[in-house]
Every structure is written in C-alpha cells, then in structure tokens.
C-alpha cells in the first residue's frame, strides 16, 4: 500500500475496462463451452498436434487421407495444433475450450483497448459487442481463433501508427512470426501493411512521404521475412497460397461460401448500420480508409469466413475519424478507471483470480463433450465390424475417421485435395452427378460408405445394385457392397 500510494495518480488510475470485458467474455464462453466443439476440423487438428509432439517434427506429406497418400501437405497451423493437443492431453475437452475462450477474451480486450484511444467507453463497447456477434458463428476450437488476438494486436498497432503518421515499430515483427506459426491467415496481416501504409502516407506532409514510404516498405519486407520464421521456411507462403487457390470449390465449402442475405443477419445489420452512419451526417474518410473498408466488406461478402475480420478491422479503421464526429456522452468516462489512489492492481488481480477460480470450479463439475453430430461412433463401429478399410465419407465425418485411425476419402484439409477434386466430390455426394458418384466408388475401390443421414448419395445408394444399407441412425448411414453385407441393423 505504501508503494502504491507513492505512484503517480495517472498510473494508479489504470484502465480496467479491457480486463473486465475479457473476464466477462471468457466466463460467458466457458459456460457455453460445448458450442465451441461443433466443428469436425477440431478432431484432426488435435490428431496432427499429437503426431507433431510424438515425432518432434512437422508433417511435409499427407499422413491420413485415402485419396492423397504421401502427397505434399504442410501444416501451416502447426503451433495451434500442438497447443490444442497439449491441452486436450492434460484436461480432455476442457483444455481446448478454456484455450479457445481465453484467446477470444484477449482479442476482445485488445480491440477495446485500441478503440478507447479514440472513442468513449460506451461507443467502444458497442463496436466490441458487434465484433463478437459477427464472429459468433465462427468462434470454434480451431487455429484461426487462437490467431485472433494476434490479428487484433497487429491490425490495431498498424492502424495506430498510421493515425500518428509514423511507421510501425520493428518490435511488432515477432507478432507476424507468431501469427504465421498459428494460422495461415497471416497473409491478411501482410496485405494490411501495404493497405494501412497508404493511409500513413496520405496523412503525412509531402516532404516526409518518401522517407515514410521507405520506412513502411522496410517494415513490410521485415514482416515478409518474419512470416517465414516457421519450420517450413519460405514454403509457409506456398502453403498459404494453396489455400487461396481453391477457386470455385470455395462455393461448396460452408465457411467459404458467399454471405446469404435471404434472411436478416447480424452481418446484414452491420452493413446497413455502416451505410446509415455514412448517410446520416456525411462521415468523410480518406481514400485509403475507404479502400480498406471496401476491401474488408468485399472479403466478407465473398466468404462468410471473413466476416470476423470485417468485425475487427472496420471499427479500427473508423475509430479515429469517429473521435471528432461522435459527441461524447455527458457523464460517460473515457474509460473505466479506479478512483485516484485506489489499489487498481489489486482489483485487477482479484478479477483474474476470480475468473481462474470460476474456471476451475466449472470445469471440475461440467463434462465438456464434442458435438455428436460430427462423431458417428456407432456407424464407424459398424464399419469396423464389416472390416471395411476403403470408405467414401461425407465431408464432415473426415475428422472423426482420422481420430479412429481410418483413412477418409476426404476431410477438412481442402488445400490438400484441390479445386477439381472437391468440385467432383461435392457434385457426387450431393446427388448432382450420379455417374460421377459411381465412378468414384469404382475407381477408388471403395468397400463401404459413411454418409450423413440426409445425404442424397445415401438415398441413391439405396437403389443402386451392388450396394446395401447395413446401418442407419439419425447421424449416419452405412452402405457396403453386396458381397460384404450382413443383415441390416439400426441404431
């Protein structure tokens, strides 16, 4: 207390709003933690992480697929996979849930801290809640979420440098190296260097522009070099490029599909709100900021996966222009601060300890479980009973087959399979190409199929000579070739 009393008042008045938001977000996500375990990709991410830990190296070729054995495959999310595998090994499903919730909470706290540099707390909180709402459908125990706080820190720091008319500090480069090891989305961070650098040049005085341009260019080259500080080196960029080269197959993968406006959604509301904000009082932005918002909006319109980036980047771009446009609330403090001389550090420690205690108590009494819709346990047991090894599966079941040490026909590693393979596969599985389905089954010497209960391909095989349904429940349907079939059963 004596030491605290001797500190300057400004230091004692610490901003606790980001910490409070982080604690609230974390506890909310923890209580609803089962909702974070609804993606089949989580299963194979943990499996790959376990392999990396066991072999002390990263994979360079495919280890699991039936149709792409030994082909080149780089795990651009290897560090996230190791983190998920480690926490899962220690605490079961509670580990990935707590890790994911913590990453989201830190991202929201960082976003609020950056926004509060220009906006009063109520307005900054609105933007944070909007970002959380937009990202909600994609908040899952997967590598992109672990990279989310890094994306916020990187984007916010670049935007802050541009607002000040400066070049970013080279001390930010380790963030890019961390991002490149966590998730392939680091290419967005590289693109932001150029886009936000244009804003810095636009704001700078003419005599300084050349020097500033050289500083931003040097930082960009440093960021490019930092992104290669991974076990794959420069091949990291090639791995990310393969993901971006999937072309038309993006339209058949749920998270890469264009945004759907047939019904009202939070994203539609955000776009309308942004338009209304621009029209109501004529908010004027610099051309580089306009370009940033338009580019981010186009990304979100083209792929629903990019909506979370929209929710983070647009508020950061708008914060500084809005600071002089929105009239501050009369009684609203600029941030949540302790009274002068109060032991703010003790309050912060109490919040952290309270959250940790609540986490231990909840995780001890609540058994987190992975989504049963993605884990066809009984159906795979039936496949094993029939000794089927070459299996044609629905896309969402690939991760579970990998966990059961069965090579899937296809799984969530879309960059491994490529555009043409995925287009042909989905046309066959969706029932749009029956001849293609039969050709795939024959050419790949498929012995059995594992399809979702509502799969058109499953309904087609019910009427195809040479195939017989041997198991069905409300999750999956199993067909085998006639010469391997036994009496049908149902779960």
In a domain, 455, yes or no: yes
Indicate the residue among 323, 353, 383 that finishes a domain.
323
- pLDDT value at residue 5: 41
Domain hosting 29: range is 2-37+93-323
Does residue 191 sit in the same domain as residue 297?
A: yes
Does the reported pTM lie above 0.85? Answer: yes
Does residue 9 sit in the same domain as residue 117?
A: yes
Does residue 383 sit in the same domain as residue 319?
A: no
Provide the 8-state DSSP code for 256: G
Does residue 27 sit in the same domain as residue 167?
A: yes
Q: What is the CA radius of gyration of the chain?
A: 25
Indicate the residue among 297, 323, 349 that finishes a domain.
323
Residues 319 and 118 sit within 8 Å (Cβ to Cβ)? yes
Average pLDDT over residues 5-13: 37
Average pLDDT over residues 145-159: 96
Does residue 174 sit in the same domain as residue 259?
A: yes
For 171-198, what is each residue's pLDDT tens digit?
A: 999 999 999 999 999 999 999 999 999 9
In a domain, 47, yes or no: no
For 41-66, what is each residue's pLDDT tens digit?
A: 999 999 999 999 999 999 999 999 99
Between 3-17, 50-64, 265-279, 413-427, the lowest mean confidence (pLDDT) is in: 3-17
| More confident position, 73 or 13 | 73
pLDDT surpasses 80 at 8: no
Pairing of strands 448-452, 391-393: parallel
Distance (Å, whole) CA 352 – CA 348: 6
Does residue 275 sit in the same domain as residue 408?
A: no
In a domain, 82, yes or no: no
Does residue 284 sit in the same domain as residue 177?
A: yes
Does residue 224 sit in the same domain as residue 287?
A: yes
| More confident position, 266 or 247 | 266
- Say whether 15 sits in a helix, a strand or coil: strand
In a domain, 360, yes or no: no
- pLDDT value at residue 483: 65
In a domain, 75, yes or no: no
- For the chain, give percent helix, strand, coil, nearest 5: 65, 5, 30
pLDDT surpasses 70 at 330: no
Distance (Å, whole) CA 176 – CA 104: 18
Does residue 253 sit in the same domain as residue 387?
A: no
In a domain, 76, yes or no: no
Band of residue 290 on the pLDDT scale cut at 50, 70, 90: very high
| More confident position, 373 or 49 | 49
Tokens of 345: 């550090």
Between 3-12, 246-255, 410-419, 477-486, the lowest mean confidence (pLDDT) is in: 3-12
In terms of average pLDDT, the best of 30-44, 328-342, 357-371 is 30-44
Residue position matching structure tokens 């600071």:
323
pLDDT surpasses 90 at 393: yes
In a domain, 329, yes or no: no
Average pLDDT over residues 363-386: 89
Average pLDDT over residues 344-359: 81
- Per the structure, how many domains does the chain have? 2
Does residue 260 sit in the same domain as residue 376?
A: no
In a domain, 334, yes or no: no
- pLDDT value at residue 274: 84
- pLDDT value at residue 281: 65
φ and ψ of 337, to 5 deg: -120, 155
Indicate the residue among 289, 305, 323 that finishes a domain.
323
Does residue 144 sit in the same domain as residue 293?
A: yes
Q: How many CB atoms lie within 10 A of CB 214?
A: 11
Tokens of 52: 């990396």
**E strand map for 307-458:** 391-393, 448-452
Does residue 319 sit in the same domain as residue 376?
A: no
């Amino acid at each position: 207390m004596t030491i605290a009393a001797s500190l300057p008042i400004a230091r004692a008045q610490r901003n606790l709003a980001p910490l409070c938001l982080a604690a609230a977000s974390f506890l909310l996500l923890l209580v609803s933690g089962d909702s974070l375990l609804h993606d089949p990709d989580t299963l194979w991410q943990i499996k790959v992480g376990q392999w990396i830990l066991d072999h002390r190296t990263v994979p360079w070729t495919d280890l699991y697929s039936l149709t792409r054995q030994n082909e080149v495959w780089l795990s651009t999310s290897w560090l996230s996979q190791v983190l998920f595998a480690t926490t899962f090994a220690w605490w079961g499903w509670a580990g990935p849930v707590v890790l994911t919730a913590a990453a989201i909470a830190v991202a929201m706290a960082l976003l609020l801290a950056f926004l509060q540099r220009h906006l009063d707390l109520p307005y900054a909180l609105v933007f944070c809640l909007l970002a959380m709402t937009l990202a909600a459908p994609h908040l899952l125990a997967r590598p992109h979420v672990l990279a989310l706080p890094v994306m916020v820190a990187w984007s916010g720091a670049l935007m802050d440098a541009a607002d000040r008319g400066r070049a970013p500090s080279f001390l930010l480069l380790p963030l890019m190296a961390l991002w490149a090891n966590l998730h392939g989305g680091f290419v967005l961070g590289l693109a932001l260097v150029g886009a936000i650098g244009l804003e810095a040049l636009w704001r700078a005085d003419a005599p300084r522009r050349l020097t500033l341009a050289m500083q931003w260019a040097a930082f960009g080259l440093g960021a490019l070099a930092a992104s290669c500080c991974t076990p794959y080196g420069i091949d990291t960029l090639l791995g990310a490029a393969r993901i971006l080269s999937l072309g038309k197959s993006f339209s058949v993968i749920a998270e890469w599909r264009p945004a759907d406006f047939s019904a009202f959604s939070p994203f539609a509301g955000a776009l309308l709100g942004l338009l209304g904000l621009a029209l109501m009082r004529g908010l004027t932005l610099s051309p580089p900021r306009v370009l940033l918002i338009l580019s981010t909006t186009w990304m979100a319109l083209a792929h629903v996966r990019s909506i979370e980036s929209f929710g983070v980047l647009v508020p950061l771009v708008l914060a500084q222009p809005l600071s002089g446009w929105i009239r501050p609330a009369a009684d609203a403090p600029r941030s949540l601060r302790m009274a002068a001389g109060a032991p703010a550090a003790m309050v912060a420690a109490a919040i952290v300890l309270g959250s940790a205690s609540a986490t231990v108590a909840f995780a001890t009494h609540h058994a987190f479980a992975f989504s049963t819709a993605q884990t066809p346990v009984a159906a795979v047991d039936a496949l094993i009973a029939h000794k089927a090894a070459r299996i044609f599966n629905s896309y969402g079941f690939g991760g579970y087959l990998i966990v059961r040490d069965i090579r899937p026909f296809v799984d969530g590693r879309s960059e491994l399979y490529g555009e043409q393979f995925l287009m042909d596969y989905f046309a066959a599985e969706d029932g749009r190409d029956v001849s293609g389905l039969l050709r795939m089954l024959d050419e790949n010497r498929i012995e059995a199929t594992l399809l979702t209960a509502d799969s058109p391909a499953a309904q087609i095989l019910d009427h195809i000579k040479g195939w017989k349904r041997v198991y069905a429940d409300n999750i999956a349907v199993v067909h085998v070739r006639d010469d391997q079939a036994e009496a049908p059963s149902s779960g």
